[in-house]
């Protein structure tokens, strides 16, 4: 991000941008919220993942950019992405930067060894998982990660779920909808059978597994190549990318894992200049290209994502990588995030960690119920009207 | 240190007078294989992770998760270079920040502890017991809990996200005051202070010229204790700082690890950074070994 | 010997010299604690969708936060867990610290310098880093213990599983703390004049007997103070389980009381509940420390009265 900011700084001597890197995830948001509450200490501009926007908005942390002319940017982005930064209303709280349509990565060499091809449906995925694990009990097609709520949210999104909803002046919480149950039961069943691992991703153990071939697939997102390059560089050339398996091959759909936007904080003394910068950052072709190259992201700006041609370094010989990504992005269904995403995500981690550890599929459904009740009760306790 | 022993504690095993001093001397001084083995086992246990971090620092990214733990590789220099290049030497700035926080913080904090401990040990005044008790209760409060309200208070004056926000809260060390009181009681004879007073010396002068030098060895311990505490502190700078140019090493390295799902954790940088961050403290320990005398209970007698 | 200090000065001067400490304490300890207590009686309620400005209101919550905390099964579980953790960790840590210190002080030990420095070394490593290092060492593919067990044909147990994870965390705390406690006790031992032992040695007492029957009773006060500080630190355990948490399914976000405080304050954005839980933890720690000192008061300091 420094490098991209440097490009701007060179050509805009009157508006200089300094980049501060924080802990990714919850911590940065919490610090911002604390700073907002305390009245000082917040930066001018903030990188905000889509699911955090309602939380930030409800804390009065973000400037409404519609007053800065943000409405003109609507045409640069897909409806789904635009919806995420406007929360369905007229106000624009952030400018989308990148999106994270989910994809599937797998070890082509091992698939070839067992005569398998990339699964097109989840049934095929389950079958492939069984085949691989039975042939070699040390190998797993994937793992169920209790540490990555965004991953599970994306999968639920693909199945048609939307965990929150707005109904007039009330919120609704629908985490235990049939769609999400379907996803939870699917993975619970596979963990129960033992053909899918039950340990979290992004750990030294998981990195080791990627390297030594005991994890032969990864349900991930379009930014996956960067992570694989960083943690499993030795296995370069052995992986292939494919669209995420579908529930119904005739009705493709997809979900998002991650993806962020850029917002102007309420404590900024230069909202106009800040808006200039973030418009440039997320829509100017040169900036977006730099972002994609340097930060390994998939731009939300529709013109720029169409312009990507060279596949990422980790998949250098997969020429159709970006067309898979583009199609995956088109298939993303809508999803509404509520004001207490953090609570839901933290409940997910606690409840599903227990379920995953027990390897008992009944506990997966129980975990989902816990997640629903915790999230709903939290909203009620805070004084929201919940339908 | 004053002796804390009383005659009752010593079992009377021998009649007075020295009889047969040379007897069984060799047996009593024979090296104990068992004792030494236990000590060495403890040493190995304590050195194991250090050994790991040394060998892991010599590996590059792809080797880290694919080779046997304790087999070293040759990439230590490369890793150090990569760490230095990360955002133009930010890591070394973190080192300097940490040295600043710990060095200045411990120095000032030790002075304040010494002063306060001296006053509590050598003066009689109403409310003294209460003041001491309240100060000691500070030990009971965990840093995690204090950090957020401290942030709010500093935000009112606009001092958050500055060097002051990390320095100021760590200037008060109840444990340091407690230790200083013990040292002052043990090392500074009251008659010397009285004598100086009769000669007309001011109280601060007495403290600076007479008491302080006498307390010096104990003060080194207090300084080192607070130095390590600040050096290793994570929670306070984590809450207070947003500008990563001001981070100490603990917060900086933690940030490298937790970059979110979409970016790979920079394991090699973190491990190399961890190794480099331990080195200064180890050197400090080795150099100042003889000052590490932490005698908690001696003061119980004199308090 | 008359002093020339008047009565007024006798009070004013000490307090004047104590001013830096008092001011700093008031600003950075007393004020935050008071603020926390005040916050524990408050809460925030939302109106409507909660998305506009001014949609949140600060309210007085009476004892709601406290009732919620005390009746929360997660909180109670975390308290029990941390007591169990303490029961496992403290005897082992103090026992080892005592044994090491005695061995260092014994005339019959060799490699004293090396052992003393090595065992003390972990004190230099911050908890965040040591948890990271041990996290790697717990990997079955990396751990030397697993290697040895596999070589002998035993399947290495998963130390991060829910049954054993408490030992995994305790080990990290043990590793980091035993050296410091050892030095505390060792210092006390070194302060004992050696003629105390002469009489015993002349009489033929072995080093072990001397250690057990002379040294240990003498350093009991040090041992007790170390125990007290260890209890306080143990009840506040936070950094080690938090760093290990992402690696395993066995540690929840409210595994220890302080983790619950952190989660409520930072992840759930509910600083008021966190404040109430903090106050409860502080009171509990205080009560336990008071009790502990009461019980051992006579043993430790009785002989000096």
C223-248 burial code (b ≥16 CB/10 A, e <16): bbbbbbbbbbbbbbbbbbbbbbbbbb
Cα distances (Å, whole numbers) of residue A66 to A275, A337, A338, B160, C49: 10, 21, 21, 31, 20
Question: What pLDDT is recorded for position B21?
Answer: 44
User: DSSP letter string over A266-314?
Assistant: TT-S-HHHHHHHHHHHHH-HHHHHHHHHHH---BSSHHHHHH--SPPGG
For C27, the token pair is 């600003």
Q: Which parts of chain C are beta strand (E)?
A: 42-46, 56-60
Residue of B165, B261, B267, B269 for testing the chain A interface, max A β-carbons within 10 Å: B261
Phi, then psi, of C3 in degrees rounded to 5: -95, 155
**Closest residue to A25, CB basis, from B87, B242, B258:** B258
User: Residue C106 belongs to a domain with what CATH number?
Assistant: 1.10.3720.10
Question: What pLDDT is recorded for position B16?
Answer: 41
Which residue range is the domain that position C145 belongs to? 72-304
- Low-confidence residues of chain C: pLDDT under 50: 1-2, 302-305
User: DSSP letter string over A181-194?
Assistant: HHHHHHHHHHHHHT
- Low-confidence residues of chain A: pLDDT under 50: none
Residue of C67, C267, C276 for testing the chain A interface, max A β-carbons within 10 Å: C267
CA distance C190 to chain A (A): 44
Class of domain A101-254+336-382: alpha beta
pLDDT, tens digit, 9 for 90 and up, residues B37-54: 999 999 999 999 998 899
- Is A58 in Cβ contact with C45 (below 8 Å)? no
Centroid of chain to Cα B211: 23
The contacts of residue A252 (CB under 8 Å, 6+ apart) are A243, A246, A331
pLDDT, tens digit, 9 for 90 and up, residues A206-251: 988 998 899 999 999 998 998 898 888 889 989 999 999 999 989 9
Question: What pLDDT is recorded for position C149?
Answer: 82
For C10, the token pair is 């006798």
3-state secondary structure (DSSP) of residue B59? coil
Question: Looking at the DSSP assignment, which residues form a beta bridge with residue A46?
Answer: A263
Under DSSP, the state recorded for C263 is I
- Is C263 in Cβ contact with A353 (below 8 Å)? no
Q: Does domain B87-291 have CATH number 3.40.50.2020?
A: no
CB A54 within 8 A of CB A87: yes
CB B118 within 8 A of CB B214: no
Q: Token pair 């060179």 is at which residue? A: A10
Q: Is C124 exposed, middle or buried, given 0-12, 13-18 or 19+ CB atoms closer than 10 A? A: buried
Q: What's the length of chain B? A: 303
What is d(CA B86, CA B68) in angstroms, rounded to the nearest whole number?
A: 27
Cα distances (Å, whole numbers) of residue A36 to A39, A267, C131: 5, 7, 32
CA distance C96 to chain B (A): 9
Question: What pLDDT is recorded for position C5?
Answer: 56
Q: Per CATH, which fold does A2-99+258-312 belong to?
A: D-Maltodextrin-Binding Protein; domain 2 (3.40.190)
**Closest residue to B152, CB basis, from A38, A100, A232:** A38
Q: What percent of chain B is predicted at pLDDT more than 90?
A: 22
Residue A323 burial (CB count, 10 A):
11
Largest CA distance in chain C: 86
What is d(CA A220, CA A222) in angstroms, rounded to the nearest whole number?
A: 7
Side-chain half-sphere of C225: how many Cα atoms within 13 Å?
21
Q: Which residues in chain C are closer than 8 Å to B294, comparing Cβ atoms?
A: 180, 183-184, 187
Question: What pLDDT is recorded for position B43?
Answer: 94
pLDDT bin (cut points 50, 70, 90) of residue B3 is very low
Residue C40 lies in a domain: no
Question: What pLDDT is recorded for position C173?
Answer: 94
Any CB–CB contact under 8 A between B66 and chain C? no
Q: What residue ranges do the domains of chain A occupy?
A: 2-99+258-312, 101-254+336-382
pLDDT, tens digit, 9 for 90 and up, residues B104-137: 999 999 999 999 999 998 888 888 888 888 887 8
Question: What pLDDT is recorded for position C158?
Answer: 82
A 51-80 residues with CB < 8 A to C: 54-55, 57-60
Question: What pLDDT is recorded for position B15?
Answer: 38
What is d(CA A364, CA A181) in angstroms, rounded to the nearest whole number?
A: 9
Q: What residue ranges do the domains of chain B occupy?
A: 35-74, 87-291
Tally of domains within chain C: 1
Nearest CA in chain A to C245: A147
The contacts of residue A323 (CB under 8 Å, 6+ apart) are none
B102-119 burial code (b ≥16 CB/10 A, e <16): beebbebbbbbbbbbbbb
Topology agreement, domain A2-99+258-312 and domain A101-254+336-382: yes
Under DSSP, the state recorded for A217 is E
Return the axis-axis angle of helices C31-39 and C271-301, rounded to nearest 10°: 130
What is d(CA B49, CA C175) in angstroms, rounded to the nearest whole number?
A: 10
| Dihedral angle of Cα A192, A196, A200, A203, to the nearest 10 degrees | 150
- Is C49 in Cβ contact with A384 (below 8 Å)? yes
**Closest residue to A342, CB basis, from C51, C135, C268:** C268
Side-chain half-sphere of C32: how many Cα atoms within 13 Å?
23
Phi, then psi, of B24 in degrees rounded to 5: 55, 15
To the nearest whole number, what is the mean pLDDT of chain B? 80
Any CB–CB contact under 8 A between A210 and chain B? yes
Question: What pLDDT is recorded for position C146?
Answer: 77
Return the axis-axis angle of helices B267-287 and C127-137, rounded to nearest 10°: 120
Strand A217-221, strand A102-107: pairing: antiparallel
C 170-199 residues with CB < 8 A to B: 175, 178-180, 183-184, 187-188, 190-193, 196, 199
Residue B120 burial (CB count, 10 A):
26
Question: What pLDDT is recorded for position A126?
Answer: 95
3-state secondary structure (DSSP) of residue A111? helix
Phi, then psi, of A94 in degrees rounded to 5: -160, 165
Subunits with 3+ C-beta pairs closer than 8 A to A:
B, C
pLDDT bin (cut points 50, 70, 90) of residue B297 is very low
CA distance A195 to chain B (A): 23
CB B215 within 8 A of CB B118: yes
pLDDT, tens digit, 9 for 90 and up, residues A283-323: 888 888 888 777 778 888 888 777 777 888 889 888 899 88
Nearest CA in chain B to A149: B261
Q: Token pair 């031992």 is at which residue? A: C189
CA angle, A211 then A110 then A117, to 5°: 130
- Is B258 in Cβ contact with A34 (below 8 Å)? no
Q: Which parts of A187-269 are beta strand (E)?
A: 217-221, 239-243, 260-264
Return the axis-axis angle of helices B90-122 and B174-187, rounded to nearest 10°: 50
CA distance A134 to chain B (A): 24
Question: What pLDDT is recorded for position B7?
Answer: 35
Question: What pLDDT is recorded for position A243?
Answer: 95
Subunits with 3+ C-beta pairs closer than 8 A to B:
A, C
Q: Token pair 């639920």 is at which residue? A: A156
Question: What pLDDT is recorded for position C138?
Answer: 87
Residue B135 burial (CB count, 10 A):
24
Residue C155 lies in a domain: yes
What is d(CA A221, CA A24) in angstroms, rounded to the nearest whole number?
A: 17
CB A149 within 8 A of CB A348: yes
The contacts of residue A179 (CB under 8 Å, 6+ apart) are A156, A159, A160, A161
Phi, then psi, of C75 in degrees rounded to 5: -65, -45
What is d(CA A105, CA A318) in angstroms, rounded to the nearest whole number?
A: 12
What is d(CA A347, CA A367) in angstroms, rounded to the nearest whole number?
A: 9
Question: Looking at the DSSP assignment, which residues form a beta bridge with residue A185?
Answer: none
Question: What pLDDT is recorded for position A385?
Answer: 87
Question: What pLDDT is recorded for position B259?
Answer: 67
Query: What is the value of ipTM here, to two decimals?
Result: 0.84
């Amino acid at each position: 991000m420094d490098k991209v900011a440097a490009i701007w700084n060179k050509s805009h001597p009157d508006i200089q941008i300094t980049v501060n890197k924080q802990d990714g995830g919850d911590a940065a948001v919490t610090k911002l919220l604390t700073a907002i509450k305390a009245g000082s200490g917040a930066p001018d501009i903030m990188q905000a993942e889509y699911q955090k926007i309602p939380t930030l908005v409800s804390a009065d942390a973000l400037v409404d950019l519609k007053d800065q002319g943000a409405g003109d940017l609507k045409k640069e982005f897909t409806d789904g992405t635009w919806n995420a930064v406007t929360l369905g209303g007229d106000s624009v709280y952030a400018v989308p930067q990148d999106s994270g349509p989910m994809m599937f990565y797998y070890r082509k060499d091992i698939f070839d060894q067992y005569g398998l091809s990339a699964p097109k449906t989840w049934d095929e995925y389950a079958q492939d998982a069984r085949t691989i694990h039975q042939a070699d009990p040390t190998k797993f097609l994937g793992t169920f990660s209790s540490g990555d709520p965004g991953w599970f949210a994306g999968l639920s999104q693909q199945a048609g779920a939307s965990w929150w909803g707005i109904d007039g002046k009330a919120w609704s919480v629908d985490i235990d909808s049939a769609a999400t149950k379907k996803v939870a039961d699917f993975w619970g069943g596979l963990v129960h059978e033992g053909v899918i691992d039950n340990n979290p991703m992004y750990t030294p153990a998981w990195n080791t597994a990627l390297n030594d071939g005991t994890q032969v697939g990864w349900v991930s997102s379009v930014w996956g190549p960067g992570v694989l390059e960083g943690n499993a560089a030795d296995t370069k050339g052995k992986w292939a990318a494919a669209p995420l398996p579908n529930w119904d091959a005739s009705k493709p759909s997809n979900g998002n894992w991650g993806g962020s936007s850029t917002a102007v904080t309420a404590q900024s003394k230069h909202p106009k200049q800040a808006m200039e910068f973030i418009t440039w950052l997320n829509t100017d072709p040169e900036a977006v290209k730099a972002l994609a190259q340097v930060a390994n992201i998939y731009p939300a700006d529709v013109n720029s994502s169409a312009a990507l041609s060279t596949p990422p370094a980790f998949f250098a010989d997969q020429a159709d990588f970006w067309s898979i990504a583009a199609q995956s992005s088109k298939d993303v269904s809508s999803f509404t995030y509520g004001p207490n995403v953090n609570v839901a995500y933290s409940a997910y981690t606690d409840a599903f960690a227990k379920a995953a550890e027990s390897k008992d599929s009944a506990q997966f459904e129980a975990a989902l119920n816990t997640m629903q009740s915790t999230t709903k009760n939290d909203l009620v306790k805070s004084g929201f009207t919940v339908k | 240190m004053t002796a804390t022993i009383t005659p009752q504690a010593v079992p009377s095993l021998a009649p007075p007078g020295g009889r047969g001093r040379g007897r069984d001397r060799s047996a009593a001084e024979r090296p104990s294989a068992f004792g030494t083995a236990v000590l060495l086992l403890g040493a190995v246990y304590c050195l194991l992770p250090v050994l790991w971090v040394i060998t892991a620092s010599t590996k590059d990214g792809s080797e880290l998760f694919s080779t046997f733990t304790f087999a070293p590789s040759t990439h230590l220099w490369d890793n150090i270079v990569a760490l230095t290049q990360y955002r133009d030497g930010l890591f070394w700035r973190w080192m300097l920040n940490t040295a600043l926080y710990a060095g200045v913080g411990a120095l000032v904090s030790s002075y304040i502890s010494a002063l306060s401990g001296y006053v509590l040990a050598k003066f009689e005044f109403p409310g003294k017991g209460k003041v001491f008790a309240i100060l000691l209760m500070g030990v009971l409060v965990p840093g995690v809990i204090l950090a957020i309200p401290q942030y709010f208070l500093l935000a009112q004056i606009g001092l958050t996200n500055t060097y002051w926000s990390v320095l100021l809260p760590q200037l008060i060390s109840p444990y340091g005051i407690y230790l200083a009181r013990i040292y002052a009681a043990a090392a500074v004879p009251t008659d010397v202070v009285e004598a100086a007073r009769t000669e007309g010396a001011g109280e601060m002068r007495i403290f600076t010229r007479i008491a302080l030098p006498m307390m010096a060895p104990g003060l080194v311990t207090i300084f080192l204790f607070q130095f390590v505490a600040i050096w290793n502190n994570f929670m306070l700078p984590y809450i207070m700082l947003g500008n990563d140019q001001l981070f100490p090493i603990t917060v900086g390295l933690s940030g490298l690890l937790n970059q979110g799902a979409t970016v790979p954790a920079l394991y090699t940088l973190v491990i190399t950074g961890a190794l480099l961050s331990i080195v200064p403290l180890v050197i400090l320990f080795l150099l100042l070994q003889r000052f590490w005398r932490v005698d908690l209970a001696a003061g119980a007698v004199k308090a | 010997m008359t002093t020339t200090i008047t009565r007024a000065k006798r009070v004013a001067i000490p307090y004047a010299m104590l001013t830096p400490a008092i001011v700093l304490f008031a600003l950075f300890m007393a004020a935050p604690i008071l603020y926390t207590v005040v916050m524990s009686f408050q809460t925030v309620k939302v109106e409507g969708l909660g998305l506009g400005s001014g949609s949140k209101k600060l309210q007085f919550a009476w004892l709601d936060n406290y009732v919620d905390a005390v009746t929360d099964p997660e909180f109670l579980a975390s308290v029990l867990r941390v007591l169990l953790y303490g029961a496992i960790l403290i005897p082992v840590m103090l026992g080892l610290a005592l044994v090491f210190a005695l061995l260092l002080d014994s005339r019959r030990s060799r490699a004293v310098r090396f052992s003393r420095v090595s065992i003390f070394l972990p004190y230099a490593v911050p908890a965040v880093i040591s948890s990271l290092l041990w996290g790697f060492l717990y990997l079955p593919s990396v751990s030397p213990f697993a290697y040895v067990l596999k070589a002998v044909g035993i399947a290495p147990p998963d130390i991060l599983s829910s049954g054993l994870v408490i030992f995994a965390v305790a080990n990290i705390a043990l590793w980091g703390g035993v050296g410091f406690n050892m030095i505390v006790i060792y210092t006390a031992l070194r302060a004992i004049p050696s003629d105390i032992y002469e009489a015993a040695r002349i009489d033929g007492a072995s080093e072990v007997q001397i250690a057990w029957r002379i040294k240990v009773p003498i350093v009991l006060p040090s041992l007790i103070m170390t125990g007290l500080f260890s209890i306080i630190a143990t009840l506040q355990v936070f950094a080690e389980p938090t760093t290990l948490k992402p690696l395993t399914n066995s540690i929840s976000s409210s595994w220890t009381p302080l983790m619950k405080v952190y989660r409520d304050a930072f992840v759930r954005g509910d600083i008021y509940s966190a404040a109430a839980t903090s106050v409860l933890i502080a009171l509990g720690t205080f009560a336990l420390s008071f009790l502990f000192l009461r019980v051992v008061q006579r043993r430790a300091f009785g002989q000096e009265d």
